[in-house]
């Protein structure tokens, strides 16, 4: 079974520039998450999708971050304009269904963003 795919793996930009990250979850997984992991900290939930609908985006800085999951499969996370404090690893994760399995989140390798 293919895992969660993310790209790019690494991105370096200057502050005020924009960046976009892409995620392809495990086939059939309805729930998709974007987490932000700052160095030395735990993953912080940014946004959660159920199919193509947003379930929770309460922690998403909406003045600069946006995310979408068109057609309920792939998702993109965009930052515009980027700030220095956005430097982090952006992790995408998916889960098939909490009722039917262990509820294990499958994470992608992450996209490491450095803002200079």
Partner 1 sequence: GENVEQHPSTLSVQEGDSAVIKCTYSDSASNYFPWYKQELGKRPQLIIDIRSNVGEKKDQRIAVTLNKTAKHFSLHITETQPEDSAVYFCAAKGADSSYKLIFGSGTRLLVRP
**Shortest distance, position 108 Cβ to partner 1, whole Å:** 6
Which is nearest to 17 in space by CA: 92, 90, 84? Answer: 84
**Shortest distance, position 112 Cβ to partner 1, whole Å:** 9
Q: Pull the structure tokens for residue 20.
A: 């976009």
**Shortest distance, position 50 Cβ to partner 1, whole Å:** 8
Of residues 8 and 103, the one with the C-beta less far from partner 1: 103
Of residues 17 and 109, the one with the C-beta less far from partner 1: 109
Question: What does the binding site for partner 1 look like in residue numbers (CB under 8 A)?
Answer: 31, 33, 35, 40-45, 48, 50, 55-56, 58, 91, 95, 98, 102-105, 107-110
| 79-104: burial string, b at 16+ Cβ within 10 Å, e else | beebeeebbbbbbbbbbbeeeeeeee
* Under 8 Å between Cβ of 39 and 13: no
In angstroms, what is the C-alpha Rg of the chain?
14
Of residues 43 and 82, the one with the C-beta less far from partner 1: 43
């Amino acid at each position: 079974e293919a895992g969660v795919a993310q790209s790019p793996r690494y991105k370096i930009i200057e502050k005020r520039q924009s960046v976009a990250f892409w995620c392809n979850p495990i086939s059939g997984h309805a729930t998709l998450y974007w987490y932000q992991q700052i160095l030395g900290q735990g993953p912080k939930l940014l946004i959660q999708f159920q199919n193509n609908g947003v379930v929770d985006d309460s922690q998403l800085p909406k003045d600069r971050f946006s995310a979408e999951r068109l057609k309920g499969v792939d998702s993109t996370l965009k930052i515009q304009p980027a700030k220095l404090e956005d430097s982090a690893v952006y992790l995408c994760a998916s889960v098939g269904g909490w009722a039917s399995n262990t509820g294990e989140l499958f994470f992608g390798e992450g996209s490491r963003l450095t803002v200079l």
